[in-house]
Amino acid sequence: MKHFSLEKHEKKQMTKIHLSGKKESCEDFVVKEYPLTIYIHEQEIATLVCSPNHMDELIIGFLAGEGMISDREDIQDLSINDKQGQAYLTLAQLKGFSREMINKRILSSCCGKSRASFYFFNDSRTAKRVSSSITLEYKQCFYLMEQLQSQSLEFLQTGGVHNAALASPKELILSRYDIGRHNALDKLFGYALKEQLDLKDKIIVFSGRISSEILLKVSKMGIGILLSKSAPTSLALDMAHDLGITTVGFIRRGQMNVYTHPHRIIGL
């Protein structure tokens, strides 16, 4: 499998208008939006709209999250035609695929079902209650978020991407960005599978809203603590309670909100 990276963003002409009425013509960095269609055994599986970097990791993480692969050894071959936006895979075994599963990628992240059931097709097989015993000093929540923000060069240039990182309680290990919140997490998951990285003692540090889909992805990775600078949804918090995940939101301006399973945040 190869690592692929296309141009990250483009310059576009624009007219900047000030409150005073002054106009000026200039260029602005605009994040690149890239459709990537996945084929397995020549069968079209899904089209992911993403940022065109670390696409092999994105594909691996996406397929693992959907229960179609368990580890990197399930993939016999992976090639990407970056000009046409197509990825071709051969798997040792094609499993867990149905059209209902693909429809999940098109629908919004909340479909209004009751808390007692899982919320997307196929999640009951792949979302598991997290048993991680990891703990985190509360001051480290602020430090890890500061580290994520300081590394977010693409956001600073374009304002159009989400950032996610794998971390230990002491430091960031790996960060990825994408126009899609879920894609950024898929890239982290794909990297972990490629490198056979144990995730039980890891933390997710995240820039985006904690939606139910994001929470499910964290559970599938087996990670016990999710830190975000943004807000959670009520459905995500219900699921975090059920799945044993510590969720911390609004980590900004010297404050944070611990919503679920606070026993992992120590020193309070």
Same domain, 105 and 157: no
Strands, sheet with 172-178, edge to edge from the N-terminal-most edge strand: 172-178, 162-167, 203-206, 225-228, 246-252, 255-260
pLDDT, tens digit, for every residue of 151-175? 766 554 555 689 999 999 999 999 9
Last residue of a domain, one of 103, 124, 145: 124
Same domain, 119 and 169: no
| Residue 171 near residue 147, CB atoms below 8 Å | yes
Number of domains present in the structure of the chain: 2
Last residue of a domain, one of 124, 152, 184: 124
pLDDT at 37 (0 to 100): 94
Same domain, 154 and 228: yes
pLDDT in tens, the chain (268 residues): 444 444 555 777 878 888 898 988 887 777 788 999 999 999 898 999 999 999 999 999 999 988 899 988 999 999 999 889 999 999 998 765 655 555 444 333 333 343 333 445 556 556 788 989 999 999 999 999 999 988 766 554 555 689 999 999 999 999 999 988 899 999 999 999 999 999 999 999 999 999 999 999 999 999 999 999 999 999 999 999 999 999 999 999 999 999 999 999 998 7
Question: Domain of 79: which CATH number?
Answer: 3.10.20.10
Same domain, 260 and 184: yes
Asked if residue 144 belongs to a domain, the reply is: yes
pLDDT at 100 (0 to 100): 55
Asked if residue 46 belongs to a domain, the reply is: yes
Give the residue numbers spanning the domain of 145: 136-266
pLDDT, tens digit, for every residue of 5-34? 445 557 778 788 888 989 888 877 777 889
What is the distance of C-alpha 140 from the center of its chain?
Answer: 21
Asked if residue 18 belongs to a domain, the reply is: no
Same domain, 119 and 141: no
Residues designated as active site: 111
Same domain, 165 and 46: no
Same domain, 215 and 159: yes
Same domain, 70 and 106: yes
pTM of the model: 0.84
pLDDT at 123 (0 to 100): 66
pLDDT at 152 (0 to 100): 67
Same domain, 190 and 102: no
CA-based torsion, 114, 179, 183, 173: positive or negative: negative
Asked if residue 6 belongs to a domain, the reply is: no
Last residue of a domain, one of 75, 101, 124: 124
pLDDT at 128 (0 to 100): 82
Same domain, 186 and 94: no
Same domain, 144 and 258: yes
Same domain, 210 and 113: no
Question: Domain of 181: which CATH number?
Answer: 3.40.140.10
